Structure 1
Amino acid sequence: MLQLLNHILLSYVCIVTISLFLRKGASGVLNAVIKRIRDFPGVDTIIDVLLATKVRDFVRQIDRTDESQVASRPVAVRIPEKGIPHEQLLVEMHNLKGREVKLEDGRVFAYVYTSEGEHYDCIQRAYELFSEGTAAGECHDGLVGEFSRAFMHENALNPMIFPALRKFENETVAMTASMLHGDHNVVGLLTSGGSESILLAVKTYRDRARTLFPHITNPEIVAPITVHPAFVKAAKYFDVKIVHTPLDDNFCPNLGLYKAAITPNTILLVASAPQYCHGIVDPIDKIGKIANEFGLPLHVDACFGGFMLPWVEKLGYEVPIFDFRVAAVTSMSADIHKYGFGLKGSSVLLYRSNDIRKYQYFAYSEWPGGLFASPGLAGTRPGANIASSWAALRSMGVDGYMRNAQQLMNTTNKMKSTIEDIKGLCIIGQPHMTSFAIRSNDPDVDILAVAEVMESQGWKMERQQLPNCLHCSVLPHHIPHTDKFLAALTQAADTVRGNREFSTKGLAGVYGMVAKMPDKTLINDFLIQFFSEVYTTK
């Protein structure tokens, strides 16, 4: 049977080749034949297998590094049970740095643009100044700063030139995947933050749909109204329609309406772990069943909680299943620069397999400057952030993350229980980690006015809407100030009770105006004008 198929395929190729030669001449025959052959079912799979073999051979040829020291794809790297001592990490870092190409030798002609002498020192000091205070717990500023200095000018756009960065990135992805119950097939990439992770995920699934379902010309994404605005940004950037669905009385997605929003144009379902607004994890296992029913991929945005929920669950708190244990979950995003306690500009985007991740990449083979490809949205990828992300996970260790989670949950629980006892205030829903939202349950207490009073006393409050409330993310620097915060909040609620004066001041007045305006496009115009004004040199 196989021999017969080979004869049929060969005969078809001969006929097509002769026909194309007569019409296009020799120059156009090869490309056209390849295109026709790839239209055959299964041919692309064969080509992929052959390409994979050739790529592995190619990487072995150009990889000058010691594979025993710098692994290209560690399959069993996990966050260490105990945080690695700082001095040990620094020794390991310096050993890896010593095997990198030395820029001062003048042998690198791309990717890195530096200046020697006093200017270099000035840039380094400025970087250190504004990277202070970004880490917490075991991973202190000195260690992260050391990593940042060492790799401050290295560029991960080409993973073969800087093998240490390749090791750091692959191992950071592997550690994060393991933490989120991913198996050895889970792959990923470090990005510049949650927004880039989300944008890349949307771009990936759009391109996947273009290839697998070319009949879908108006792709749609279904997501609860509480998903991060980066999904809306991604939809606008990549010409995808986002269909928002409402919440139920518990501030979770209304699953009936969520399911009803799915159409033949739907290419992706989205859920949050947790959603930022109220700190509540969406029912991802139930959304996963909907995804299976319709044969759709499911992305879980755990940018906010990915590096906190696993430890909260290990502490014994009730956390809905949210990660790769849900079979329908095809990708996840988790920010190291949030509760992973790494430098700002560090996020991980994970895919269940490379069959999905391959749609993320961009490749262009016709540029006079050479063959070009990039894994993410950015071209230049700062090495310092990749190195410090690796350092953060290894320095903290499971024990460090667990200690932080325990302390922060104790503080969170104290805050929530006290707030519930403040007359006129309450917590929205049932938050699952170190985050919650405060609202008013008394018409005489305007929660936005409470924020104005708090601001007048030096507290910076995060205002939210639909419904009006205040967001709190509890972090290590809040622990010693918990009692002062709760006392100030109690006093603020008492101050505004029945007093409408504060409801017209500052942002309270702005949010009050927004709530009354039926045409939100005017508010969008206002926000755009705001940025135009702020980002202007006076």
Structure 2
Amino acid sequence: MDLPAPLQWTEHVLFSLLLAVVVRSYVLYGLTGVLKDLVKFLRLLPGVDTLIQFILAREVQTFMNKVSATPVDSEPVKKAVEIPEKGCSAEELLQDMAELKALETVTEDGKVFAYVYTMEDEHAKTLRKAFDMFNDPTGYDGNDKPSARENVVNQFAHTFLHENALSPMVFPALRKMETEVISMVATMLNGDSRCSGSLTTGGTESILMAVKCYRDRARELMPHITEPEIVAPITIHPAFEKAAEYFNLTVCHAPLKPDFTVDLAAFEKLIGKNTVMLAASAPQYPYGIVDPIEDVGRLATKHNLPFHVDGCFGGFMLPWVEKLGYPVPPFDFRVQGVTSVSADVHKYGFGLKGSSVVVYKSSEIRRHQIFAYSSWPGGLFGSPGFSGTRPGANIAASWAALRSLGEDGYMQKAEQLMKTTLAMEEGVDSIQGLSIVGKPAMTAFAIMSTENSGIDILALADAMEARDWHMERQQLPNTLHCTIMPHHIGREMVFINDLTESADEVRGKASLSSKGTAGMYGMVAKIPDRAVVDEFILQFFDKAYKL
């Protein structure tokens, strides 16, 4: 039966287009190019891409079961893994460690040709001793002597010290621990079982991965954007600038209002045709103030843009502070529009250094983070994050830290640290000429000098350093940053007394503004070309890392 004339015409047009594509591909790329473009063309037809995805998922499952050291479930996890309500005992963790280690590939039998380059000998023992010297997480309880729990965290690190998370199949215990850490963090941040993520080497990598993810998402969904942009407050962590430089984006910074919160009207005006993501902090590192996440979430929803919350600093503190009854504005997956959150295990998660998590609302978003390369003679290559090789020690220690502390342990730490923080803030406000910047939400704050106080805040930092305090100086405007950590517990009055004496020492002495680091910062602040200041920073690091 002949097709109606309009359908015949459509058929001829489609066939002509397909023929043109085939001829062009063959001329330019040969038979391989023809097949590649033919597949692309077919995937545009209704239902074809869905069928391809179904077949791929089935083949991936078959492949994983063939190459994995242990069976891999074909069904997704129905119930998310949560941080236990009560921390696990050292004995429980040791039992867990034995069971996990039993899952792993035994490299000592000489049948593995990649991933592990070490062996159990005297050299390995020396490495463990060196690791302990610089990675012993003491001081969580305000003591110098590690607890039984801390010792077990170290034992986890020891046990998996040489294992490599480059391959999720060779070391299934690492894969289990990593996915469970991600799930525990996701539930802590009020995500659900659809959440997906990665354990990274730190907050910077978590942020880099989020930016890379949304850049690649834009390449797929918004290919017309050739100069992608991020909109964020001026207080956003410099890792976003680093990511933008690495991945060829631009960060558009919104200014702050007099109360040190972001100007939302200015923020929205920066959203334009090239915007591929929004970002904000929970809290801002400089002042400990949580950005208006709900408001930015509404903007993300309104403009149909992904929104990353940088909770690297506060992700492991704000949930517990909120549960203790302190005022914490919503900042996590409860907020409509939030599509990803980062949180550092090695900060208030009390894990080993080099541990952070980036969590996405769904695996559909996370897929844009993953790097895949199928044309290498060395085999099929994929990597979920910036790093290829990833040390098993940090993954294992992160898992052990979350399970050993539990919600009750984190609540206890948060309560202790908040009491110390509030005591310090109250002490600062009692000193003539000093005040706390804005309204901090957790265990961090900044100190500024009040107008006409006669106190140069940078000279105050120099005076405090003469009393053996290591002060964090900030600029635009000049302030002093204080993050309150376990080793500050019980030292509140020492801090306030020294700060009071230092303020009295520098008050009214304008000459101190030209001396010490106060003089250096003052000089830098007067340089109008920030590129010159950037060059100063480059030369500083170049000099610092020379023998």
TM-score interval for Structure 1 and Structure 2 normalised by the shorter chain: over 0.9
- The match for 1:200 is 209
CA contact (8 A) 2:65 2:72 kept: no
Does 2:99 match 1:89? no
Question: Which stretches in structure 2 are left out of the alignment for 5+ residues?
Answer: 142-146
The partner residue of 1:53 within 42, 45, 58 is: 58
Q: Secondary structure at the match of 1:153?
A: coil
Q: Which stretch shifts more, 12-21 or 272-281?
A: 12-21
Give the distance between the partners of 1:437 and 1:46, measured in 2 at CA: 56
When residues 335 and 48 of structure 1 are mapped into structure 2, their CA distance, relative to the original with a 3 A threshold, is same
Q: Deviations over 1:464-495 (max 9, x none)?
A: 01111111111111012111111000100000
- The match for 1:368 is 377
- Aligned partner of 1:129: which letter? M
Cα drift, residue 143 of structure 1: 1.7
Give the distance between the partners of 1:51 and 1:11, measured in 2 at CA: 32
Q: Which stretch shifts more, 108-117 or 335-344?
A: 108-117
Give the distance between the partners of 1:454 and 1:153, measured in 2 at CA: 42
CA contact (8 A) 2:69 2:105 kept: no
- The match for 2:505 is 495
Does 2:481 match 1:471? yes
Q: Deviations over 1:227-253 (max 9, x none)?
A: 000000001110001100101122111
- The match for 2:466 is 456
1:275-424 to 2 correspondence within 5 Å?
275-424=284-433
CA contact (8 A) 1:101 1:161 kept: yes
Q: Secondary structure at the match of 2:397?
A: helix
- The match for 2:155 is 146
Give the distance between the partners of 1:172 and 1:512, measured in 2 at CA: 45
Give the distance between the partners of 1:339 and 1:244, measured in 2 at CA: 27
When residues 242 and 19 of structure 1 are mapped into structure 2, their CA distance, relative to the original with a 3 A threshold, is closer
- The match for 1:484 is 494
Give the TM-score taking structure 2 as reference length.
0.93
Give the distance between the partners of 1:35 and 1:256, measured in 2 at CA: 43
Q: Secondary structure at the match of 2:165?
A: coil
Q: Deviations over 1:77-102 (max 9, x none)?
A: 10000000012101210221122111
When residues 172 and 12 of structure 1 are mapped into structure 2, their CA distance, relative to the original with a 3 A threshold, is farther
When residues 508 and 7 of structure 1 are mapped into structure 2, their CA distance, relative to the original with a 3 A threshold, is farther
Cα drift, residue 27 of structure 1: 4.8
Cα drift, residue 76 of structure 1: 1.9
Cα drift, residue 16 of structure 1: 6.5
CA RMSD, aligned part only? 2.3
- Aligned partner of 2:40: which letter? K
Give the distance between the partners of 2:503 and 2:90, measured in 1 at CA: 45
- The match for 2:144 is none
- Aligned partner of 1:520: which letter? R
Does 2:166 match 1:161? no
Give the distance between the partners of 1:156 and 1:274, measured in 2 at CA: 31
CA contact (8 A) 1:427 1:438 kept: yes
- The match for 1:113 is 117
Q: Which stretch shifts more, 302-311 or 242-251?
A: 242-251
When residues 42 and 427 of structure 1 are mapped into structure 2, their CA distance, relative to the original with a 3 A threshold, is farther
Q: Deviations over 1:239-288 (max 9, x none)?
A: 00110010112211100000011111111010100010000000100111
CA contact (8 A) 2:280 2:291 kept: yes
Give the distance between the partners of 1:169 and 1:12, measured in 2 at CA: 52
Give the distance between the partners of 1:18 and 1:449, measured in 2 at CA: 76
Q: Deviations over 1:472-527 (max 9, x none)?
A: 11111101211111100010000000113432232211111122111111111011
Q: Secondary structure at the match of 1:279?
A: coil
CA contact (8 A) 2:77 2:193 kept: no
The partner residue of 1:528 within 535, 538, 543 is: 538
Question: Which stretches in structure 1 are left out of the alignment for 5+ residues?
Answer: none
Give the distance between the partners of 1:314 and 1:212, measured in 2 at CA: 39
The partner residue of 2:36 within 31, 35, 54 is: 31
Give the distance between the partners of 1:494 and 1:248, measured in 2 at CA: 30
Give the distance between the partners of 2:61 and 2:106, measured in 1 at CA: 26
CA contact (8 A) 1:139 1:341 kept: no
CA contact (8 A) 1:139 1:395 kept: no
Cα drift, residue 19 of structure 1: 5.8
Cα drift, residue 9 of structure 1: 11
CA contact (8 A) 1:72 1:167 kept: no
Give the distance between the partners of 1:317 and 1:82, measured in 2 at CA: 22
CA contact (8 A) 1:72 1:166 kept: no
Q: Secondary structure at the match of 1:359?
A: coil
Q: Secondary structure at the match of 1:512?
A: helix
When residues 336 and 521 of structure 1 are mapped into structure 2, their CA distance, relative to the original with a 3 A threshold, is same
- Aligned partner of 1:450: which letter? L
Q: Which stretch shifts more, 10-19 or 496-505?
A: 10-19
Q: Which stretch shifts more, 174-183 or 58-67?
A: 58-67
Give the distance between the partners of 2:365 and 2:474, measured in 1 at CA: 35
- The match for 1:243 is 252
Q: Secondary structure at the match of 2:489?
A: helix
When residues 14 and 507 of structure 1 are mapped into structure 2, their CA distance, relative to the original with a 3 A threshold, is same
- The match for 2:237 is 228
Give the distance between the partners of 2:127 and 2:166, measured in 1 at CA: 21
Q: Secondary structure at the match of 1:182?
A: coil
> Identity over the aligned pairs, expressed in percent?
54
Q: Deviations over 1:184-238 (max 9, x none)?
A: 1011010000000001100110000011000111111000000000000001110
Give the distance between the partners of 1:266 and 1:41, measured in 2 at CA: 30
Give the distance between the partners of 1:338 and 1:215, measured in 2 at CA: 39
Cα drift, residue 327 of structure 1: 1.7
CA contact (8 A) 1:135 1:342 kept: no
CA contact (8 A) 2:85 2:408 kept: yes
Cα drift, residue 396 of structure 1: 0.5
When residues 213 and 17 of structure 1 are mapped into structure 2, their CA distance, relative to the original with a 3 A threshold, is closer
The partner residue of 1:517 within 524, 527, 544 is: 527
Give the distance between the partners of 2:448 and 2:102, measured in 1 at CA: 55
Q: Secondary structure at the match of 1:360?
A: coil
Aligned length: 532
Cα drift, residue 124 of structure 1: 1.1
Give the TM-score taking structure 1 as reference length.
0.94
When residues 71 and 439 of structure 1 are mapped into structure 2, their CA distance, relative to the original with a 3 A threshold, is farther
When residues 468 and 13 of structure 1 are mapped into structure 2, their CA distance, relative to the original with a 3 A threshold, is same
